[in-house]
Structure 1
C-alpha cells in the first residue's frame, strides 16, 4: 500500500503541473464553467420551493446523484482506458518493481482526482444550494464532504472493470490509435447526450405536472436503476437527505463508505489477476499488409506545396489527439446548433421563419457579417494553424533539412487549416440549405465571404505559433491542449467576429456594401499577412 501511494503521488506530480500558464488556463476554464454552475444553483433553489410543500425535496439530491453517477461511469470508461492502457508511461512502469494492483491503484487515484475537479461543476453547486435551502446543520456539512470524496469511486470501479475485461478479451482494442479516436468520438457523443438530458430535465423541473410524473415513475425510471446499480448511492443520498437524524445519517454514510471500500478491494483484486495480460501487446498502430502495385504509383512527383499539405492532413487524421482536437471540431459546430433545434419542436419553425427573413435586405446584411464571423471562429478554434509549428516538436529539424523554401512549408500548413475550416462551413451551409431551403445565391455568397476570412485567421494563427512555438513536449496532447496560442487565436477570432458587425452599426450599410466591403477588407488583409508570413515568418522559422 505504501508503494502504491508513493507511485500515485509521483503520477499526480507529473500529470498535474502547476505554473503561471496552467493557472491562467485553469482560471479561464473556471470562468467558462460559472454559467453552468449558476444554472444548477438557480434550478435547485426553484425546484426546492416546488418540492418542499409536498415533502419531496430529497428528490433533488436523488436525481443529481443518479445523473452524475451515470455521467461519471460513461465518461470514465473512455478516460480510464486511456489512463490505464494507452498512456505513455505504461512501458516505463511495467519493468519497475510494482505489482499490477499497485499500478492500477495509483492510476485509479489520478483518475479520481480528475473526477473531483469535474464534480466541482456538476455536483458541488447542487450540494451547497440544497444545503442552504434546507437549512442544513453541521451533520450535513460533514456528510456532504464525505459524499463528495466517495461519490465517484463505485462508478469508476465499474468502468475500470469493464475496460480491463474488454482489453483482455478483444484483439481489435489493442490498437491504441484506433481506440483513442473511437473513445474520443464516443465521449463527445455522451457529453452531448448528457447536455440534452440536462436541458430536458430543466424544462421538466419548471412544470409541476412533469415533476409529479417523475415522482410517480419511482423505481421504474432509469435514474432509479442507477441508484440500484451503484449500490452506495442510495445510502449516501439517505445520509444527506436525513441529516436532521444524526444516528440515521451517520449509519447510512458508514454503510456507503464500507460499500465503496469493498468495491475498491474487488477491483484491485481482479485487476491484479487480469491487468498485466491485457496491457501486454498493445501497439500504437496496426501494421498494414497492403503492398504497392508498382514503384511508379509509389513515387509520384508533386509540387512542394501540395506534398506538404497532404503530409499535414495525414498527420492530423492519423494522430488521435490531433484528429479529436483539430479535425473533429470543424464538424461538430453544425451538430451543436442543430441538436437543440430538433429536440425542441417549436424551434424548428422559428428557425425556418428566421431563414425566410433572409429575403429581407436588412436581415441579410447581418447574415453576411455573421457567416464571415462564423468562418473565422471555426477556423480559429480548430487550432490547426495556431499549433502547426508546435506540433512538429523536436522533429522540427526534419523540415529544416529538406530542400524546400520555408515559405512553402508555412503556406502548406495554412492551406491545411483553411481547408478544414471551410469544410466545417460547407457542411453547415449544406445542412441549412437542404433542411430549410436556403437560396442558392445566399449559399454562394456565404462561401465567397468565408474564404478570405478563414485564410486571414489561419495566417494570423501560424504567425503567432512561429513567434511563440511550444516545441518541448513529450506527448501530442501538450502540443495542442496545453498550447496557449490556440486560446489566444480563439479570442482574436471572436474579436474580429464582432468587428465584422461594426460597419452595419456605425455606417448603416446595405448587404451588398457589407459583402463587398468585408470581402475587400479581408482580401487586402490576406495579401498583407501573406507578405508578412513570407518574409518575417520565414525569418522566424529559420531562427527556430
Structure 2
C-alpha cells in the first residue's frame, strides 16, 4: 500500500472510529443500549422523509406538465453544491488546520499535498453523508418518475460522486490562501474568525445572487411563455449563473451516449479535475506556511500575586464560574465559535436573503401571512417549529461535554457539584439557543411582518420545548461523550451524539406537531390549545432537567478520560 493510500485509510478510520464502535459493541459489549435508541430515532425521521419525497414527486409532476422536468435535476444539483460551499468551509478549516494529529504528520517524510489529500478525503466523505438526505431523494424520484431509464441509474452514482468536488475544491483553495495570510499576524484566532466570516458571507451572497438569477419575478408574460416553450428554458434560467448545474443536468438527462451529454460530462469532470489539481498544487506551496505557528498564542502579561488573589477570592458562584468557562472555551476555539454561534444564525440569515432575492418583494411573506390569517393554528405551528429548529440545530448542547476533550478529568476533580456543572452547561446552551430564537423572531417580525400576537404565541410554545430539547441533548452527550477527538470539528459536527440527538429532536417535534393538530381538531379554541401545549412544554422541560441532573450524579464518576 502506498503512503498516500495508507494515510487516507488511517484518516478515515480515525474520523469515523468504526473499529472502536465494533470493539465496544461486540468485544466489550458496551453501548448496546444505543442500538435500539438509534433505530427509534431513525423511525422518527421516516415520516419527514416520506413527506419530502411526496413533495419532490409533486414538484416533478408540476414541472413535467410544463415540459420542464429537467429543472428538478438542476435545482437538486445547485442546492447540493451551494450547501457544500457554505457548510464545507467549517469542515475544511477545522480539518486542514486544527487537527491534533498534524503536529505528528508534518514530522513524517510526507509531502504537504499528501497530508492535505488525506484531510480532503475525510471532508469529502462527510459531505457525501451530509447531502445524502437532501439530494439523493431528488435524484431517485426523478429516476423513478422517468420510468427507470437504465442509463440514468448508471450515471446517477457517478454524478453524486462528482457533485461536491467543484465547490469543495474551490472552497479549499480559498481556505489555504486565507490561512497562509492570517498566519502572519499575532492575533491568529481573531484573524481566522474574521476571515471565516468573510468567506461565509461571500458564499451566502453568492447564493443570494444565484437565487436572484433563478427567479422569474422580473420577467414579463411573454418572456415566461418563451422560457416554458423551450425544453431547456427553466434549466438555463436557474443555472445561468452557475453553469456546472446545467452540465450535470444535461449528462444526467441525455446520457453519455449522446454528443450533448458527453460534452457536458467532459466539462463537469474537467473542471473538477482542474480545481482538484489546483488545490494540490496550492497545498504544495502554501499548506505548511499556513500551518506552522497556529499552536502558538500571543504573549499575555502575567498578573502579579495580589491581582490573582483578588481574582480568585472574589466569591464567584460555582454555576456562574462554570458558565463563564463554557463561554471562554467556545470563544477561544474558532471552530467551536463558528459552528455554535453561526449555526443558530445561519438559517434565519439564509431565509432573509432568500426573501430578498425576489426582485418584486415579498411573495413568500405574503403566503405565510395569508396562511396565518386563513388558518392561524397552522401558521403558529409552522413559526413555532421554525424557532425551535433555529435554536437547536447548532449542536451546542449535544456536544457540551465532548467539547472538553481529554481535559474532562478537570471537571471530575474540581470542587463543584455535578448538578451545578450540568446547570451551567444548560444555561450556556440555552443562551446560544435564545440567540437563534431571537434571530428567528427578527426575521418573522421584520421580513414576514407577522403581528405581535402571532410570534408571541409561537414564542410561548417554542421556549419550553427548546428547554426540553436542550436537556435531552445534554443527556445524549453525557451518556457517551466523545473525548478523544483529534479535531474540534469532530467534537461538534462530526460527533455521532449530535446526529443521535438530532434524530431524537425530529422525532419529538413530529409527535409534538401531531399533538398540536389533534388538540386543534378537538374543538378547543386556539388560545386554549396554545395554553395546554405551553403548559405541557413547561412540564416536560422541568422533568427533563431534573432527570439529566440526577443522571449526572451517576454518570460523571464513571466517565473515563
Fold shared by both chains (TM-score > 0.5): yes
The higher relative CO (CA closer than 8 Å, separation ≥ 6) is in 2
Aligned to 2:25: none
2:319 counterpart of 1:305:
yes
Aligned to 1:5: 5
Aligned to 1:399: 411
Cα separation, 1, equivalents of 2:250 and 2:84: 17
Aligned to 1:408: 420
- Contact 1:385 / 1:458 at 8 angstroms: preserved in 2? yes
Cα–Cα, structure 1 residues 47 and 84, in superposed 2: closer, same or farther, change >3 Å?
same
Cα separation, 1, equivalents of 2:472 and 2:276: 50
- Per the normalisation by structure 1, the TM-score is 0.70
2:298 counterpart of 1:287:
yes
- Contact 1:414 / 1:462 at 8 angstroms: preserved in 2? yes
Cα separation, 2, equivalents of 1:377 and 1:330: 8
Cα separation, 2, equivalents of 1:432 and 1:501: 21
Please state whether the residue corresponding to 1:97 is helix, strand or coil. Answer: coil
CA drift at 1:209: 3.2
Q: Give deviations 1:305-341, integer Å, cap 9, x for gaps.
A: 2222222233334434443444334334544655555
Cα separation, 1, equivalents of 2:540 and 2:137: 47
Consecutive unaligned residues of structure 1, counting only runs of 5 or more, are: none
Aligned to 1:87: 99
Aligned to 1:501: 516
Cα–Cα, structure 1 residues 536 and 339, in superposed 2: closer, same or farther, change >3 Å?
same
Say which of 335, 340, 349 aligns to 2:366: 349
2:337 counterpart of 1:323:
yes
CA drift at 1:386: 4.0
CA drift at 1:501: 1.9
Consecutive unaligned residues of structure 2, counting only runs of 5 or more, are: 23-33
2:490 counterpart of 1:486:
no
Cα–Cα, structure 1 residues 331 and 536, in superposed 2: closer, same or farther, change >3 Å?
same
Bigger mean CA deviation after superposition, 487-496 or 250-259: 250-259
Cα–Cα, structure 1 residues 373 and 400, in superposed 2: closer, same or farther, change >3 Å?
same
User: Alpha carbon RMSD of aligned pairs, Å?
Assistant: 5.5
- Contact 2:429 / 2:470 at 8 angstroms: preserved in 1? yes
CA drift at 1:395: 2.6
- Per the normalisation by structure 2, the TM-score is 0.69
Please state whether the residue corresponding to 1:501 is helix, strand or coil. Answer: helix
Bigger mean CA deviation after superposition, 265-274 or 369-378: 369-378
CA drift at 1:277: 2.9
Cα–Cα, structure 1 residues 493 and 295, in superposed 2: closer, same or farther, change >3 Å?
farther
Bigger mean CA deviation after superposition, 123-132 or 154-163: 123-132
Cα separation, 2, equivalents of 1:241 and 1:439: 49
Aligned to 1:179: 192
1:352-371 aligned within 5 A: 352-353=369-370, 363=376
Cα–Cα, structure 1 residues 498 and 64, in superposed 2: closer, same or farther, change >3 Å?
closer
CA drift at 1:95: 0.7
- Contact 1:388 / 1:462 at 8 angstroms: preserved in 2? yes
Aligned to 2:400: 388
CA drift at 1:92: 1.9
- Contact 2:469 / 2:505 at 8 angstroms: preserved in 1? no
Cα separation, 1, equivalents of 2:235 and 2:207: 21
- Contact 1:77 / 1:163 at 8 angstroms: preserved in 2? yes
Bigger mean CA deviation after superposition, 333-342 or 401-410: 333-342
Cα–Cα, structure 1 residues 374 and 253, in superposed 2: closer, same or farther, change >3 Å?
closer
Bigger mean CA deviation after superposition, 321-330 or 300-309: 321-330
Cα–Cα, structure 1 residues 422 and 30, in superposed 2: closer, same or farther, change >3 Å?
same
CA drift at 1:494: 0.9
CA drift at 1:172: 6.2
